[in-house]
Structure 1
Amino acid sequence: MQDDGLLTFDILSNSLGKTLDLEKHDARENLPRASVTFTSYMTFSQMSSYLEGLPAQYPQRIRVDKPGRSFENRNIYRVRMTNNITNTVQKKVVFVDGGIHARELVSPAAALYVIETLIANTKLTETIEWQIMPMLNPDGYEYALNKDPLWRKNRSKSPSSTCYGVDLNRNFGFQWGGLGASSSPCSDIYKGTSAFSEPESRALRDAMLPLKGKVKAYITFHSFGQTILYPWGYSTQVKHPLTATMDTAAKAMAAQIKKTTLAVYSVGNSAVVYYPVAGASDDWAAYAMDIAHSYTIELRDKGVYGFKLPASQILPTVRDAWEAVKTLATLV
């Protein structure tokens, strides 16, 4: 703020650089193959080993495929889970993804925790086929984990700039290029050269489109802010016709989280609670897939640590995620 011509400010951290450096290399280097952990941030290689090992351990319940590859040619995985994976014709689908923004390290951890918890919860896989893409932005994630902890975008190279990356959550083909998206390749919210210009957003699109009519709920995990958001995100002036339905379900998820983990999550329309976001995955899912329940869940925390959530907070945070997903599954 301004006072008598002078700028005043508050110091939020005296050692942000030191904190980021300390957190940069906290991934567990010696994690056994095909294992998962929620006490440190896993590398993409560790995640890949875990995901690729699942079908052999649970051949009747789990299939893993690769709907796409990233700009730097890393696999983008999809895990399909249900009690009888060979017979899914009559089952509704709940679709979950994570890791669309590189620096939101707890997001893919949350999706992995959903997978791991569903393995032990056969009741929730009786009538639902779960499809989970835990890491949509593997290039950006590895870059954030090892080089720049505040990196947000993917790692594609712009043909017209020396800057790298597209904000994948501005690259989906509904209201692409509208409010809250930038045309500058150097911007953190750069929309890309066209809708679905990026292989990572196309991977999600191509995994979901054949399921139109079957997907009853979509959740994308982000961080931070402890908020459950629903469409439309592209405008503060246009309401989704199922706003009341989504608001009721979001409040039920928030209530269950508070009941079990004591964490407080707010609820609301994403454009109103935060700011307009055009070309986002939750808006696209609600529109293109005609999904009645489409949510962005901003996980912990509320800003003390922000994007660099300490490893000690991974497990409490992913438990929030599970409570939300579990609750939604009973409502769709």
Structure 2
Amino acid sequence: MIILSSILLILVAAEKSAFVAGGIERNYTILRITPLNIEQIQFLSALYLNDDKMADFWKPPTRINETIHVMINPGFMKKFDRLLNEKSISYHIEINDFAQYLKNKKEMKRQRNLLFDNNRERRFWDDNNRNSNIFLGKYNSYDSIVRWLKNLEQRYDNIVTVKSIGTTAEERIIYGVKLGTKNVTSKPVIWLDAGIHAREWVAIHTALYLIQQLIIDYNSNSKIGEYLRLLDIYIYPCLNPDGYEYTQTKPNDPSVRLWRKSRGSTINYEWENGEKRYCKGVDLNRNFAFHFGEIGSSSSPCSNIYRGKYAFSEPETQAVRDALLPLREQIKAYITLHTYSQLWIYPYSHAANTYSSDIDELKAVAKEGVNSLMKLYGTEYQYGTGPEVIYAFSGGSSDWAKQSANVKYSYTIELRPSKSSNAGFILDKRELIPIGRETYEGIKVVIDKVIMEYKQSRN
């Protein structure tokens, strides 16, 4: 607590000093930091947990000699440099002007021919995006996504049903689809969602790609046809549409493009010295009722990992809970897509060396999924619990689904790029289709396992 209190006072002083500086430091700067001992990790962790005004940690500092990337906000570089120097923490400037980096990315022309080398994919999107202005290989607005989902239901009404599960803080409806033949009233269910963190655009795009491929392959691939005859696959591509839409309002502004949380009510937060700040939103993946309020979450409304006032305090997480629990007898797999780090995470992630009773089965399917994914492009994933492969966190959706909804195969998949990549959340659009393809291969392993067990249960 002494370390934390000292850091909070330093941060408030740094904030005041930054404003006094008159905007001399205007750049968002990306640093690469490698902590060398436990003391450095503790110091950086205190910053990560309790501040978002000075710095945005893209990944928390959890392991000695493991690189993290931190975005320093304008006006704070000198102060952050001083803090690191006081603890003998060295760093490397990876990107000096991140706003300019984003502008350069936006100006890169899309090369459609490179993205659509599969003729069936091209025909599918040409046929189905006329009224929605959507296609893969680029990022789409939430409204465009919703229109596209509704178009799919009209064209493929034998296997596509549009579903809505609730309304967000800003009164957007959370839409998804149920994929499956409609001649059976009750089938095993696989649930897949994405976009619970606003800045993770790649995850949302990947969920759309999975919808596309399952529909394309339904009539042309007997294996996929069996999937949709025997199962219902629910896919909700964007659980946090408020945050996602906000990130698209100023895509060249790092503070907007890299917004993580929801856009719920603004909280007037008072620091220990009486300083007041107005902070908005909740980290929805810390708001589920699984060891809520414990490790890897923050009670500070200004933190990027603010957990909310209580479990399921937010309409978005309430929507997931209220839609998923009535299906608990049918749901056999829950998969939530995130970016980034190339990880396949299974429960439990709130504490080290804490496993479910069927850990061997969870691990075996994860291993097979990672191996299947890797065969396509050689992309290497790690698999394990959160503490084993990245960090411990509480209040996450996949842990909650495992415990509270009793979902056997419950996974969080962190997509490309790797942990060490400076691209972070800003991937070249040319990677979007390959990410979708390899993820599809990995997820088919889970579907195959569910179908195999379903067939065995009927014999």
Does the 8 Å CA contact 1:175/1:234 hold for their aligned counterparts?
yes
Aligned pair partner of 1:126 in 221, 229, 235: 229
Aligned pair partner of 1:16 in 87, 92, 98: 98
Shift of 1:35: 5.4
With over 3 angstroms needed to count, the CA separation of the structure-2 counterparts of 1:73 and 1:27, relative to structure 1, is: farther
Does the 8 Å CA contact 1:43/1:142 hold for their aligned counterparts?
yes
Shift of 1:237: 3.5
Matched, 1:261 2:368: no
Matched, 1:39 2:39: no
Stretches of structure 1 that go unaligned for 5 or more consecutive residues are none
Stretches of structure 2 that go unaligned for 5 or more consecutive residues are 1-35, 37-83, 111-128, 219-224, 251-255, 270-277, 451-459
Does the 8 Å CA contact 1:168/1:201 hold for their aligned counterparts?
yes
Does the 8 Å CA contact 1:172/1:280 hold for their aligned counterparts?
yes
Matched, 1:107 2:229: no
Normalising by structure 1, what TM-score?
0.93
Matched, 1:155 2:263: yes
Structure-2 separation of matches of 1:159 and 1:7: 33
Aligned pair partner of 2:193 in 93, 97, 121: 97
Shift of 1:27: 12
Q: Structure 1, residues 279-332: CA drift from partner, whole Å, max 9, x if none?
A: 000000001111110000000001231111121211111112211111110012
Q: State, as a whole percentage, how many aligned pairs show the same letter.
A: 36
Aligned pair partner of 1:68 in 161, 166, 184: 166
With over 3 angstroms needed to count, the CA separation of the structure-2 counterparts of 1:7 and 1:109, relative to structure 1, is: closer
Does the 8 Å CA contact 2:193/2:337 hold for their aligned counterparts?
yes
Name the structure 2 match of 1:139. Answer: 242
Q: After the TM superposition, which residues 121-270 of structure 1 pair with which residues of structure 2 at under 5 Å, given as runs?
A: 121-122=217-218, 123=225, 124-147=227-250, 148-161=256-269, 162-270=278-386
With over 3 angstroms needed to count, the CA separation of the structure-2 counterparts of 1:289 and 1:7, relative to structure 1, is: closer
DSSP-derived class of the 1:301 partner: strand
For residue 101 of structure 1, what is the amino acid of its counterpart? H
Shift of 1:167: 0.1
Structure-2 separation of matches of 1:6 and 1:242: 44
Name the structure 2 match of 1:284. Answer: 400
Higher helix share: 2
Shift of 1:86: 4.5
Superposition RMSD on alpha carbons, in Å? 2.1
Q: Structure 1, residues 224-253: CA drift from partner, whole Å, max 9, x if none?
A: 001100110111142221211111101111
When the two structures are aligned, how many residues end up with a matched partner? 328
Q: Structure 1, residues 155-188: CA drift from partner, whole Å, max 9, x if none?
A: 0124443100100000011111111111110000
Name the structure 2 match of 1:301. Answer: 417
Bigger CA drift: 119-128 or 4-13? 4-13
Shift of 1:5: 8.5
Q: Structure 1, residues 69-98: CA drift from partner, whole Å, max 9, x if none?
A: 11111110121111x225231x21110000
Structure-2 separation of matches of 1:116 and 1:86: 22
Name the structure 2 match of 1:53. Answer: 151
Bigger CA drift: 151-160 or 216-225? 151-160
With over 3 angstroms needed to count, the CA separation of the structure-2 counterparts of 1:241 and 1:27, relative to structure 1, is: farther
DSSP-derived class of the 1:223 partner: strand
With over 3 angstroms needed to count, the CA separation of the structure-2 counterparts of 1:146 and 1:23, relative to structure 1, is: farther
Name the structure 1 match of 2:429. Answer: 311
Name the structure 1 match of 2:456. Answer: none
Structure-1 separation of matches of 2:100 and 2:445: 39
